[in-house]
Amino acid sequence: MHIVLDETAMAAAGHGNVLASRLIHRAHAETGWYLYAPACALVEADQARPGTAEHLAALPGMTVLHLDLPAVLAVARQNAWAAAHCQYAAQPTPDRPDGAIVATTAPERWIGEPVRVLDLTP
């Protein structure tokens, strides 16, 4: 299971959201569970709640996705960098042929976007 946390899910994890905490635990404890933190979303989450980026990046089950050139080009075409980087990260790749699911506490923002969504709203 490949899951991309958007900035709302990252902030929710910092506020003790039970569903976000379960994802983090599974990524650490269970084989086949992977959590991704796109750098642009990590920056936005940290701006909303200082310390979030450092905390999430230190978690053993978390992979921070940096901006390589294809990601920069995808993000540059959008106004909201965090959402654009999450959407880019969720697309299929050779390592993730089915893509990834975007975990969020704002599922309405993803309506009409080409991503699968996991609603973390309690």
* For residue 7, pLDDT beyond 90: yes
Taking the C-alpha atoms of residue 95 and residue 79, their distance in angstroms, rounded to an integer, is: 28
pLDDT for 122 equals 83
pTM of the model: 0.93
Tokens representing 86 are: 């999450």
Inter-residue contact 3 to 103 (CB < 8 Å) = yes
How confident is the model at residue 51, as a pLDDT?
93
Q: Give the pLDDT band (50/70/90) at residue 86.
A: very high
What would the pLDDT profile of 33-85 be if each residue is shown by its tens digit?
999 999 999 999 999 999 999 999 999 889 999 999 999 998 999 889 999 99
